[in-house]
Chain A
Amino acid sequence: MDIQLKRGILDVCVLAVLTRGDSYGYQIIKDVSECIEMSESTLYPILRRLESGKLVSFYSVEHNGRLRKYYSITELGRQRIDEFLEEWKELLKVYNFIMKMKDGGENDQA
């Protein structure tokens, strides 16, 4: 997949995971990996970006004698998801159009 495209999608995947409740790094990776492959080194810049854009906030919780950083989605983050879904509705229209044209063309030839 195109790097630029994947980057934008992963951002929203992380946000989507956080709509189900606050979460921490390792859990986010496990959840997102259900649909798209993601490594630790990919998640770090994403979290930084979301943080600096105020799409997520974070707090530390003590866990087994160490600190674990929990992330929670902000109102701005939820808005970003809605924007994304809106954008993709349009893209889906284009996708369907392309498929229709392509299939139509093949049938004509046959």
Chain B
Amino acid sequence: MTKLEFLDALQARLASLPENEVYRLLGYYAEMIDDRVESGMSEEEAVEALGSMDSIIESIINDMSIPKLMRARVKESSHRFGNKVLWIILVILTFPFWFPAVMACFGAVFSVFMAIWGVIIGLFVAIGALAVSGVGCIIGGLFFLFTKPLPVALFALGVGCILSGVTIFMIKPIKHIAKWLGKGISSLVRKIKALLFKKRRVNSEAK
């Protein structure tokens, strides 16, 4: 690919980002290619050295915040509509329809995040409760040795030992699950970003 072909392709892929953002990116990569050519590479080699287009795009979207990607999306759909005034009027008139939908989407995403956090917190509360009741039963059992019939005391001690054992047994798996869920949250964020971007790209190709 030559420098111009590369820049054209990059611009096409980034069509939905804010103009000044695209302008800066194209300037940056043009300068990189020029500098490589100056240091003795051919144009094709210089483009090759930049890596795959996909990895370039990915590094760009991963660095943008979700609100920024959404703003770009809203801006783009207003561009596509041509008549600005009509578009604004339409947006205002249809407010009762789209506003609940947008809020519902936000709510859905938010509740998924909260649910994941809830599970993490719940797991730790559960293991905490197990630990407390295990220790409580053992202490109670020791106390019962002197105050209650022997079978009752032994029963309490036994239950206490089982609960403590289960607690110790569960600590490691729960830590692993919590870590895994935490990773799930960050990969979810990345997927949402990719989704926002991909949708916009398909739209801009369609017009």
Give the B-binding residues of A (Cβ under 8 A): 24-27, 39-42, 44-45, 47-49, 64, 66-69
- Residue contact A69 to B27, C-beta cutoff 8 Å: yes
- Chain A residues positioned under 8 Å from B117 (CB to CB): none
Instruction: Please determine whether B27 and A45 come into contact, CB atoms closer than 8 angstroms.
Output: no
Interface residue tally of chain B, by bracket? 10 to 19
A48 to B65, CA, bound (A): 13
Cβ of B203 to closest chain A Cβ, rounded Å:
24
Q: For chain B residues 29-69, which have a beta carbon within 8 Å of chain A?
A: 29, 31-32, 34-36, 38-39, 50-51, 55-56, 59-60, 62-63
Nearest neighbor of A66 in chain B, beta-carbon distance: B34
Chain B CB within 10 A, most for which of A47, A48, A49, A67: A48
Q: Of residues 1 to 50 in B, which have CB atoms within 8 Å of A's CB atoms? A: 25, 27-29, 31-32, 34-36, 38-39, 50
* Complex Cα spacing A48 to B24, Å: 10
30 of the cross-chain contacts (CB-CB < 8 Å) are A24-B31, A25-B32, A26-B31, A26-B32, A26-B36, A26-B39, A39-B51, A40-B29, A40-B32, A40-B50, A40-B56, A41-B50, A41-B59, A41-B60, A42-B59, A44-B28, A44-B60, A45-B59, A45-B60, A45-B62, A45-B63, A48-B63, A64-B38, A66-B34, A67-B31, A68-B31, A68-B35, A69-B27, A69-B28, A69-B31
With beta carbons under 8 angstroms apart, the residue of B34, B35, B38, B59 that contacts A44 is B59
Chain B residues, Cβ within 8 Å of A39: 50-51
**Which 3 pairs of residues, A with B, have the shortest CB-CB distance?**
A26-B35, A45-B63, A41-B59
What residues of A have a CB within 8 angstroms of the CB of B34 in the complex?
Answer: 64, 66
Residues on B with beta carbons closer than 8 Å to the beta carbon of A69? 27-28, 31
**Distance from B20 Cβ to chain A, minimum over Cβ atoms (Å):** 12
A69 to B31, CA, bound (A): 8
Q: A24-B35, A26-B31, A26-B35 are in contact. Are A41 and B51 (CB under 8 A)?
A: yes
- Is A25 touching B63 in the complex (CB atoms < 8 A)? no
A46 vs B34: C-alpha distance when bound (angstroms): 21
Question: Which chain B residues border A27 with CB–CB below 8 Å?
Answer: 35
Q: Could you say which of A27, A41, A42 has the most chain B C-beta atoms within 10 Å of its C-beta?
A: A41
The closest CB in chain B to the CB of A30 belongs to B39
